[in-house]
A and B are shown apart, each in its own frame.
Chain A
Amino acid sequence: MSKSIENISVASHDNNVLDGIQKTGISIGLIGLFIMALALFNINFPYKGIWLTASIVAVFGGIILYANRTYLNKPEGIKNDGIMHSSLTNKGTLAWMVGIILTSFYVVLYWFPKYLGLNSEGGANTGIVAFFDPLSLLLNGKPASQWFVYGTLYTIAIVGLGYKFILKYRHNKYQLVRTISVMFFQLGFAFLIPEILEKLNPEKAYFAKDLKNMWPLNYYFFNDWHLKAMIEGGNLGMFMLLFGIAMIFIISPILTYFYGKRWYCSWVCGCGGLAETAGDSFRHLSSKSMISWKIERWMIHSVLVFVFVMTIAVIFTFLSNNPEMSFITRDQFIGGIVIFLTVFTTALFLFKRKDMDTDAVYTMVTLVVIIIISLLMNYFSGNQNILFIDSNSLREWYGFAIGAAFSGVIGVGFYPILGNRVWCRFGCPMAAILGLQQRLLSKFRITTNGGQCISCGNCSTFCEMGIDVRSYAQKGENIVRSSCVGCGVCSAVCPRGVLKLENDSPGGRINANEILLGNDIDLMDYVNNK
């Protein structure tokens, strides 16, 4: 053992030690959560409304107190001190504990909601679901469901920890505006408006009322029960159906062309919203290795194909069973899909082949050919299962494997272990579609500032999507990656002002240079234009 000097000072030298006010903040917040946990274990609170209010206020109050103390008494700037030393943010004991609790919560939520106190037989709820009844009755006029509890907690997490994020990045107006946007869309569009609309249309069957939750992130949008509910859902139902389709085919492509996929993924989306706010402390945990990039590309595009196939199948079934409810026939539908796929793939092949890797081109063409052949085979043989497999089981498998297990259990439960964007990076079909467009047809890029990069690696470390930003920046190359959600943190943490998120003309977006700006002009010309 080496004999280092004994620490005899009274001052603490550990950068992770909390002061009294921070501790008070954390205590108040945890007490709020603890009250909810008591409810979960069937402590029957009298005056539920008051206790519920108290617990929610405590959670917000705790976060606000903690965040104010942590960030407001220091000068504005990057606040990442000690992230790699702390147990919670560096995969230590605390991180595993939080991960296990979150994962268990999701398992119960998706598959055993009765343990949360849900009474699906129509009787009164118990447990934490009953605890949220007063708020649910107030907002939508019905007793709470497990989804209402989840939605409320989700919104509290985004709004509360969004506040913390805003203080942390208060010197950076891009982060400020973006975070206010995700908080607004979660609180308004995902939570309050749907609940209130539910109250105003009490008799109708359930259909999704979150305007921004579009297909394929909302994978059940085209499922037969959902289509029926919308078609029979009066004006509101028809509006949701038409708006949902417009989002997919008109609004999203236009916005993605001008701003990149960030308009959705880090400004509007609820999954992204949670990742950016509650998940901010874990953004550096995403793996930057080449191998994870490879896995990412295979996985996310497989999910995209899965959701696409599933959707074709369920729509076909719906059209077969309910010809009277739809404005197109199933013949037109199959014809339309075949034409769409053919035109889309041909256009990509003709105009964008050079922008894609060879294996990507082959995979895509092969897949489209297989899908078209199976469609035609089944169609002309009169098979009800248009893609060989029963649409119902496809739907159930997708809901189980992707909708629940991947997006919830792994996607959020593993925040403290795998990083905050696991779902967005490896599993979200919406991100896959937007990413394809961002890569091939968009004005968005992250510009590298000439030769100013010092290869320090802050950008790569804090990229939640696992993009090795530095590998581009140090070559003077702009970053045009399908997975980039445009959170802007790489630009924020860069100590030398090298990175800027920009929308500019699509031509020459990548601008790769072997010899960087600042060197011999002849040499730059010689090498870069070779």
Chain B
Amino acid sequence: MGFINALFLSMEHIVIIGNGISGVTLARHIRKRSDAKITIISAETKYFFSRTALMYVFMGHMKFEHMQPYENDFWKKNNIDLLEGMVTEVITDEKQLLLADKSKISYDKLVIATGSKPNKYGWPGQELNGVTGLYHKQDLEALEQWAPTTKRAVIVGGGLIGIELAEMLRSRNIDVTFLVREKSFWSGVLPSGESKMINRHILEHHIDLRLDTNMVEILSDDNGHVRAVVTDKGETIDCQIVGLTAGVSPNIDFLKGSAIELGKGVKVNRFLETNVKDVYAIGDCAEQHEGIDLRRPIEAVWYTGRMMGEVLAQTLTGNPLQYKPGHWFNSAKFLDIEYQTYGWVWAKPKDDENHFYWEHSKGKKAIRISFHKETREFLGINTFGIRMRHEFFDKVLTNKESVDYVVKHLAEANFDPEFFKNHSKEIQKQFTTEFIGTKTA
């Protein structure tokens, strides 16, 4: 039947470049609503895997197959074609893709979901053996190859991937020097209290944290492998692995020269359409003409990639919808400390914002609530070492509840496992002292 349909009814062919969370979510949701022919092209792996779990495979918590959320026969069962190949050119006039092996593929609708690549800022020696980001499956393979002969690694870039890479390497008893450009870890995003807490935790894990330090150059040995890095403090650090984790940028080099409008990423409107008809972009590689609400134009986050996939599937199956992400949320884990955030908490409060910060005496749990100075409207929360309910804060943000409401209902918002110590009382007490004024006894 499928064949006959394709022949006579000229079934629509949707081609998705990239099999990350965005592309795969899109394909799954299209399949729920339509019989269109779907092809996913990937040069990285045949089957979808969860990039977020690469670290756990290296650390030996999981095997590669554990990262694959769907069994291998899932794709055939759902009639989603998987194609391994590297797209080198998009010929929009002919609605064709050119692959590295010179084969051509025609599409009716094209979705670019090629994700990101690690930033390289033109450091001398950045192409040497032993230098890697942590993004692709191939990065993991390279690390596996180098790890047994590595005594020390240097990681450049103090963000979420950098700390993951540090944790990975430490799990194999490799010494790690962690170069962070800022004066404190991830301080562009985290306010000082939380950032300092993570600094301490990094040191506790015997990671050699160098704040306010940049890499200048990577030195090579005789075989073209990394030998050492030189910092802007004039120090030369011997190492056999260099991890480049100074952020990511859209993986769209193959589109240069095509008719598709590019900025840093693939420019899209709120319907995730590019300037070329029937070409769309989602996930890390998509760039909104203007950031939505307080979001950045490019959001390289798992959740937004998934959400764009969910939305675009509607559009491509006859229910055109704009991408309207709801309230911002995100999460991460810094070594042993879990982090969640709901709404917006800026590293430095804006003029009309107040921050309330509580930290546990042992220094591994903290929350920060941002709220409006005058209206006391709740704006966002950072939570460390305490799990909170997404649903609770989504509702609070939608209903524009006050900070007082949130502090009062903290126990209800808590999502920690049973028997965990609840710190709501202590937090409420501190909040009362700082922002309500001491009550007369």
Cβ of B223 and Cβ of A5 under 8 Å apart?
Answer: yes
Looking at A105-113, A147-155, A446-454, the stretch in contact with chain B turns out to be: A446-454
Interface residues of A in 423-458 (CB under 8 A from B): 447, 449-452, 454-458
Interface residues of A in 465-520 (CB under 8 A from B): 470-471, 474, 488, 491-493, 495-497, 500-502, 514-520
Interface residue A357 (Cβ < 8 Å from any Cβ of B)? no
Contact with B along A1-16 (1 / 0, CB 8 A): 0011111010111110
Contact with A along B305-328 (1 / 0, CB 8 A): 011001100100001011111110
6 sampled A-B residue pairs with Cβ under 8 A: A4-B145, A77-B336, A450-B391, A455-B52, A519-B326, A523-B311
For A289, list chain B residues within 8 Å (CB).
71
Cβ of B335 and Cβ of A80 under 8 Å apart?
Answer: no
Interface residue A78 (Cβ < 8 Å from any Cβ of B)? yes
Residue in B32, B71, B391, B417 whose CB lies within 8 Å of A514: B32
Q: Smallest CB-CB separation from B221: which chain A residue?
A: A5
Interface residue A461 (Cβ < 8 Å from any Cβ of B)? yes
CA distance A496 to B338 in the complex (A): 6
For A171, list chain B residues within 8 Å (CB).
336
Interface residues of B in 20-77 (CB under 8 A from A): 21, 29, 32, 50, 52-53, 56-57, 59-63, 66-69, 71
Contact with A along B385-411 (1 / 0, CB 8 A): 001111100100010000000000000
Interface residue B375 (Cβ < 8 Å from any Cβ of A)? no
CA distance A3 to B129 in the complex (A): 12
Residue in B71, B171, B335 whose CB lies within 8 Å of A81: B171
Q: Smallest CB-CB separation from A172: which chain B residue?
A: B417
Interface residue A389 (Cβ < 8 Å from any Cβ of B)? no
Looking at B118-126, B146-154, B281-289, the stretch in contact with chain A turns out to be: B146-154
Interface size on B, residues (CB 8 A): 74
Cβ of A520 and Cβ of B338 under 8 Å apart?
Answer: no
Interface size on A, residues (CB 8 A): 67
Residue in B60, B61, B66, B417 whose CB lies within 8 Å of A174: B417
Interface of A is mostly: loop
The smallest beta-carbon distance between A467 and chain B, in angstroms, is 14
Interface residue A521 (Cβ < 8 Å from any Cβ of B)? yes
For B340, list chain A residues within 8 Å (CB).
452, 496-497
Looking at B80-88, B251-259, B260-268, B418-426, the stretch in contact with chain A turns out to be: B418-426
The smallest beta-carbon distance between A527 and chain B, in angstroms, is 8
Looking at A82-90, A237-245, A294-302, the stretch in contact with chain B turns out to be: A82-90
Residue in A174, A290, A493, A519 whose CB lies within 8 Å of B311: A519
CA distance A502 to B146 in the complex (A): 44
Contact with B along A52-83 (1 / 0, CB 8 A): 00000000000000000000000111101111
Cβ of A449 and Cβ of B387 under 8 Å apart?
Answer: yes
> Tally of A-B residue pairs with Cβ under 8 A?
204
CA distance A171 to B385 in the complex (A): 11
Cβ of A456 and Cβ of B53 under 8 Å apart?
Answer: yes
Interface residue A317 (Cβ < 8 Å from any Cβ of B)? no
Which 10 pairs from chain A and chain B are nearest by CB? A450-B390, A77-B336, A497-B387, A456-B53, A173-B419, A520-B324, A82-B60, A495-B333, A9-B151, A80-B61
CA distance A493 to B66 in the complex (A): 14
Q: Smallest CB-CB separation from A6: which chain B residue?
A: B149
For A11, list chain B residues within 8 Å (CB).
151, 173, 175
Cβ of B336 and Cβ of A520 under 8 Å apart?
Answer: no
New contact pairs (13) apart from A13-B149, A84-B61, A518-B394, CB-CB < 8 Å: A14-B172, A81-B60, A84-B60, A84-B62, A174-B418, A452-B329, A457-B66, A458-B53, A458-B61, A497-B340, A518-B303, A520-B321, A523-B311
The smallest beta-carbon distance between B257 and chain A, in angstroms, is 34
Q: Which residues of A contact B (CB under 8 A)?
A: 3-7, 9, 11-15, 17, 75-78, 80-86, 171-174, 176-177, 289-290, 447, 449-452, 454-458, 460-461, 470-471, 474, 488, 491-493, 495-497, 500-502, 514-523, 526
Cβ of A75 and Cβ of B335 under 8 Å apart?
Answer: yes
The smallest beta-carbon distance between A259 and chain B, in angstroms, is 10
Interface residue B295 (Cβ < 8 Å from any Cβ of A)? no
Interface residue B331 (Cβ < 8 Å from any Cβ of A)? yes
Residue in B32, B338, B391 whose CB lies within 8 Å of A495: B338
For A517, list chain B residues within 8 Å (CB).
326, 390-391, 394
Interface residues of B in 130-176 (CB under 8 A from A): 145-151, 171-175
Q: Smallest CB-CB separation from B28: which chain A residue?
A: A514
Cβ of A78 and Cβ of B145 under 8 Å apart?
Answer: no
CA distance A78 to B53 in the complex (A): 15
Interface residue B240 (Cβ < 8 Å from any Cβ of A)? yes
For B68, list chain A residues within 8 Å (CB).
457
Residue in B53, B323, B391 whose CB lies within 8 Å of A457: B53
Q: Smallest CB-CB separation from A456: which chain B residue?
A: B53
Cβ of B151 and Cβ of A460 under 8 Å apart?
Answer: no
Q: Which of B50, B66, B338 has the most CB of A within 10 A?
A: B66
Interface residue B205 (Cβ < 8 Å from any Cβ of A)? yes
Given contacts A6-B149, A174-B418, A457-B50, contact A12 B56 (CB under 8 A): no
For A454, list chain B residues within 8 Å (CB).
50, 52-53, 302-303, 331
The smallest beta-carbon distance between A485 and chain B, in angstroms, is 15
For B60, list chain A residues within 8 Å (CB).
15, 80-86
The smallest beta-carbon distance between B273 and chain A, in angstroms, is 16
Given contacts A13-B147, A449-B415, contact A523 B321 (CB under 8 A): yes
Cβ of A518 and Cβ of B336 under 8 Å apart?
Answer: no
For B374, list chain A residues within 8 Å (CB).
none
Interface residue B225 (Cβ < 8 Å from any Cβ of A)? yes
Cβ of A80 and Cβ of B324 under 8 Å apart?
Answer: no
The smallest beta-carbon distance between A417 and chain B, in angstroms, is 16
